[in-house]
Each structure stands twice: as structure tokens, then as C-alpha cells.
Amino acid sequence: MITVGIHFGHDSSLSIVKDEEIILSVEEERFTRIKTYRGFPFGGLEYAKKQFNIELKDANKIIIAGTNILEELTLAELKKRFGDSDSKLMRKLTGFITKDTLEDKENYFYKKMKSFGVDKSKIVFVDHHLLHTASAYFQSPFDDALIVTSDGKGDSTSSAIYTYENNKFIKHIDISALSSLGQMYSAVTMYLGFKAGRHEGKITGLAAYGDEHKLSPFLMKLFTFDEEKGIYKSKFEEEVLIKSIDEIFTNFNHNIIKKNNISKMNNSIAKQYETIFALYLKYFDTVFKNEKKEDIAAAVQYILEKIIIEFISFWIKKLDKKYICLAGGVFSNVKLNQRILNIAGVENIFVQPAMGDSGLSLGGALLAYSELENKNIRKAIYSVYKGPSFSSNEIEIKLKNTNLKYRKYDNLYEQSKEVAKLIKENNLVGIFNGRMEFGPRALGARTVMISPVDKTINDTANKRFNRTEFMPFAPVVLDKYAKDYFVGYKEEHLASEFMTITYDVINSKAKEIEAVVHVDNTARPQVIKKEKNLLYYMIIEEFYKLTGVPIVVNTSFNAHEEPILHNIDNAINALNNDIIDYLCIENFIVRK
């Protein structure tokens, strides 16, 4: 049996489950080379046909992420996401002449799916947060868990609490999109001059440099927590429901959030959501003017942690749970996840590695399979390496057509020993090995490895990558030594394998690995096991033999504002453009 999950909003993706195994999960941005790409996953479908001889028409069930997606998109935008877009002028003219109907959009969508040979009866649109829930639970190691989702918004919701009982997900509560903590965090991101929806991680890093108490009272005023119902609410939710857009935009304008743009939106929730974004910016102009960026970042991080901790603490007590599954973009916040693990009564947490919206397709494919089989298909995640790979033969053909120098290795030990030596010599070594990772983190398949000993390597490497970061690079550590470096680490902490949580660094070890320790003495490790990625593990093992340090810096293999690289040409270009010094690509080591 084959089931498919498709997400064609931002961070579009495709996932396929066959005979209970995830055979493919891939973000479309890797093919298009457009960060956070929005569109139908044609690249993923083409790869599925080429590699697995699977097409959409072969699926027993297809889940599309989002019950409201057709309602929220204009017909012109829907066509654009299928590659059928008209010119900008035509889209504007069409908007003035006709009004899209839901029927028009449904007819267009099902006609496109029919062109793939897919009957309408096989397609189901499923709630955004239910798919986040399925992605987290079905890959967790916990049979009985509290499942928490939180993001900007999805299908009118920003957070939800679920459990899994009798082969079904049970929703206990949800929080309106109009009270979104993810939206508040994104508004701060924009206010501080970064890109909302993309650079929130910079705010997390910046927060460690600020005073979390100085400005947090101004943000705390915006939210209330109901201790009897276990829900939180933004004061802006009520304001946007009772005031007109004209009232809200009095004496306010912003180069991105504009009244006219919001007025044209054809969906009330989307209109209200964007209006609240404007209200945040308006409020920040009042209370944060002339304040330090670090203190503003620290305030929003503090408030996010405080409210989410209250929210989760209430529900673990009410439902008597010790294990927590997390998904949704809010849980890309590694500092927040550390706080959640430390909640009294919590034994362990699992964060879906593709916690953002790319993970919706995975949730869809897994949920579809579970529903067709009417059984719990939960299986603790073994690997995130679910994307495309390339053969040694394909790579050699490409290398022969370049002026690059390379050596082919028949012995994994010799290759890993050479890579470790290059890293020790402070070279930046790009790793292109096996199937690509699914999710936002590079975890050893499309990774750059650097020595962790010299703290200045952060500035040097960021300059090479053309990145601006406030948080240091992440360490990858051999599993048998993780407890020697990170306070409270336990082998059963599956979240640590996917760089989804920070730990305090043991004081006596911090100097040894300065390049990966943040100003607050935390690090966000990837704990690697030998059976998960042999070459990656062996490189670090050889580095340990050379240096006595069982840790190497791991950062994503991409330049600033580019997706993680996907194919052989991307890797060769990175070497030619001096982003890296050496390229370890399958059983080759390549240099200029």
C-alpha cells in the first residue's frame, strides 16, 4: 500500500509511505533552489518516479495539508503554485474584474490532480495542526504522550493539544491563530530588521546577550493565561474582532504591513492575522523605541518560554502525561525545548526534526497509512536521511568534466582519517554523503565540518558562508562521550540526535570546544551513533584520535539565504566558490 502527503504552502514538501516505511520525504526548495519555496512538489514527484517508479496515481490515499488552503488562496495564486501563473498585470486585472469562488478553485485543483491520473475520491484535505501532530507522534518513541503543536498559524489555529487513543488522535484544546505566540516572535523578528518566517533563529541567539526582565513586562501585558481552562489569549485577538481596519491603521504605516494589502485579502482569518501583525509592530514602535536589540530579543524569548511552559505544565497535569511530542515552527526554538525537557514531571520529549511546515507532508503520509490500516503505526524515528542520493558513478562522471583534483577511496577508514586530518588543520570540509536530510537541520548528509577548538572559526566561516549569526555553530558529538560534555544528557534523549534542543555545557569542557558554546554556556548538539551514519561517525572518531576532542562543528552545507544543497553540481559550485576548502563527496575527496 502507498500513501502520499503533499504540502504546497511555504516550505512545500512531498512524503511517500510504502508498506509502513517512509521511502521519501523531501522539501521542494532543494530542487527549485528557492528558500521556503511555495508550490506543488513537482521536483519531488519527478524524483519519486525516477528512483522508486512511483507516481501519484499509484497512491491509495493522498492527504493535502490544510483544510482551508483553497479558501485562503486566490485562483491566480493557486495557478502560480502549479506553475500556471499569468503575468502580474493579468493577475491584478483578474482580481478587479472577477471574484474567485471556492468552486472555481476546487475545479481547477481537481482538474490538475486528474492530469496526474488521480481520482478525487483518493484526495483528502486535513487540518494543519493534526498533521503536525501525526508527524510528531508517529515518529516518537512514546506510546502514551502529550502531543503539543505551536506555530504562526494553520487552519485558523496557532497551538493545539492532542493525545492518541484507540487508533485516533483526540484534540483537547486549540488556541486561535489570533493569539499566536509564533506570530509575536515573528513580529519581533521583523521589527529588529530580519525576515519574519525565516530568521527567528537569529532572535533566539541574540536573546542570550540581553536582559530578559527589562522589557518582558511590556509583552506580558499582551497575553493572559486562564489557569482553569489551560488556554492563553492575546489582547489583540479581541481588538481585531471589534475594530475596523481603518481604526487600527490610524497614524500607522509600515513598508511591509500595509492597510491596502490587508484590505484586499479575501479570507477573514488571514486578514485578521495580518492586522494583528500590524498591531504588534505599532505597539513595538511605542514601547521598544531606542531600546537595545538584545533586550528586545531577550524579552520575546522569555515570554515565549513562560507562556508555553505554563500551557504545557497545565496539560501534563490535567491529562497525567510524562512524555511530550512537539511539532510546529515554534519548536524549532532549541532554547524553549530545553526548558520543556526541564519541566517538573516530564521524563522525556521528542521534537519532530522537520518541525516546521515541511513536516506536514510527512504527517499526511503517515496519517493516511494509519487510517487505511486502522492501526497505530508509531515507530521511533531511526533516520532523517529520506531525500535524494547520487551514485559514485554519477559523481565521477561530473568530476571528470571539471578541473578539480580528486582522489577516489575504496577504504572508508582511510577516507575518514584524511578528512579528520583536514579538519584538524582548520579546513572547512563539505560532506555530501548518502541520502539528503529531511527538515531544516543539516545532520551529516549535506554538512560542513569544522574544528571546534578555535572560537574565531565562527567569524571566519560565517564570512565564507556570507551569514550573520548570533548563535555559534552546532557540535556533533560521538554518542559515548555526550554525557561528558552536556549537563543532564541521557542516552534516551532522542531529540538530541537531531539538533532540536540545547544543553548547558559542563564548565570544565567549555574551553575545549569554544567554537560551539554560546555566551549563556549552552550548545545545541547532534549526538551521532555509529549505526546511523558510519562515515560521519568515523570522521569524528578519527578527529578524536588526533585531538582528544570527540566533537566537530557541524553547519549546513549552503551559502546564506540558499537552501541546503541538493545535487552534485551544487556541491562542486560550493567548492569552486570557496565556500569550502575540500569536498568529501561519497567515496571521493575533492579539492581545487
- Per-residue pLDDT tens over the stretch 261-303: 666 666 677 888 888 998 999 999 999 999 999 999 999 999 9
Q: 223: how many CB neighbours lie within 10 A of its CB?
A: 19
pLDDT greater than 70 at residue 306:
yes
Matching CATH topology for 2-129+362-373 and 141-351? yes
The one-letter amino acid at 193: G
Q: What pLDDT was estimated at residue 92?
A: 54
Is the alpha carbon torsion for 530, 532, 533, 534 positive or negative? positive
- What proportion of the chain, given as a percentage, has pLDDT over 90? 86
Q: What's the CA gap between 153 and 106, in Å, rounded?
A: 22
Cα gap 487→503, rounded to integer Å: 6
Contact 265, 271 (CB under 8 A): yes
User: What is the sign, positive or negative, of the torsion defined by CA atoms of 482, 486, 489, 493?
Assistant: negative
CATH superfamily of 392-591: Carbamoyltransferase, C-terminal domain (3.90.870.20)
pLDDT of residue 96: 47
pLDDT digits 0-9 by tens, 103-139: 999 999 999 999 999 999 999 999 999 999 999 999 9
Mean of pLDDT values over 537-550: 98
Residue 567: CB atoms within 10 A of its CB come to 17
**Over residues 428-452, mean pLDDT:** 97
> Cell 528558500, residue?
35
State mean pLDDT over 134-151. Answer: 99
CB 38 within 8 A of CB 23: no
The 3-state DSSP class for residue 428 equals coil
Domain 2-129+362-373 of CATH type 3.40.50.1100:
no
Class of the domain covering 141-351: alpha beta
Q: Output the 3-class SS for 154-221.
A: ECCEEEEEEEEECCEEEEEEEEEHHHCHHHHHHHHHHHCCCCCCCCHHHHHHHHCCCCCCCCHHHHHC
Q: Is the Cβ–Cβ distance between 473 and 515 less than 8 Å?
A: yes
State the CB neighbour count (10 A cutoff) for residue 256: 12
CA of residue 423 relative to chain centroid, distance: 28
DSSP assignment of 307-363? HHHHHHHHHHHHHT--EEEEESGGGG-HHHHHHHHTSTT--EEEE-TT-STTHHHHH
Mean predicted confidence (pLDDT) in 452-462 = 85
**Please, what is the Cα angle at 465 between 464 and 471, to 5 degrees?**
110
What backbone torsions phi and psi does residue 176 show, to the nearest 5 degrees? -60, 150
Model pLDDT for residues 334-363, shown as the tens digit of each residue? 999 999 999 999 999 999 999 999 999 999
Q: What's the grid cell of residue 354?
A: 522537520
Domain boundaries along the sequence of the chain:
2-129+362-373, 141-351, 392-591
Give the model's pLDDT for residue 288. 96
Full-model pTM: 0.95
The residue among 68, 28, 9, 78 whose CA lies nearest residue 357 is 9
pLDDT tens digits for range 1-30: 999 999 999 999 999 999 999 999 999 999
The pLDDT score that the predictor gives to residue 264 is: 62
The residue-averaged pLDDT of 68-83 equals 94
> How does pLDDT run across 18-72, given as a tens digit for each residue?
999 999 999 999 999 999 999 999 999 999 999 999 999 999 999 999 999 999 8
Question: Is residue 560 within 8 Å of 466, Cβ to Cβ?
Answer: yes
- DSSP states of 551-580 as a string? EEEEEESS-TTSPPP-SHHHHHHHHHTTS-
DSSP string, 449-507: EE-SS-TTHHHHHHHHHT---SSPPEEEEEGGGHHHHBTT--TT-GGGGGT---EEBPH
**253: pLDDT confidence band, cut at 50, 70 and 90?**
low
pLDDT, mean of residues 144-164:
98
Q: Which of 123, 100, 544, 173 is nearest to 368 (CA)?
A: 123
pLDDT, tens digit, for every residue of 532-543?
A: 999 999 999 999
Beta strand 429-432 with 582-585: parallel, antiparallel or unpaired? parallel
Using CA atoms, how far apart are residues 353 and 79, in angstroms rounded to an integer?
31
- Report CA dihedral (309, 312, 313, 318) to the nearest 10 degrees: 160
Region of 160 (left: φ > 0; alpha: ψ -120 to 50; beta: rest) is beta
Is the CB of residue 400 less than 8 Å from the CB of residue 320?
Answer: no
Q: What is the mean pLDDT of the chain?
A: 94
Give the pLDDT mean for 543-558. 97
Characterize the bridge pairing of strands 405-408 and 429-432: unpaired
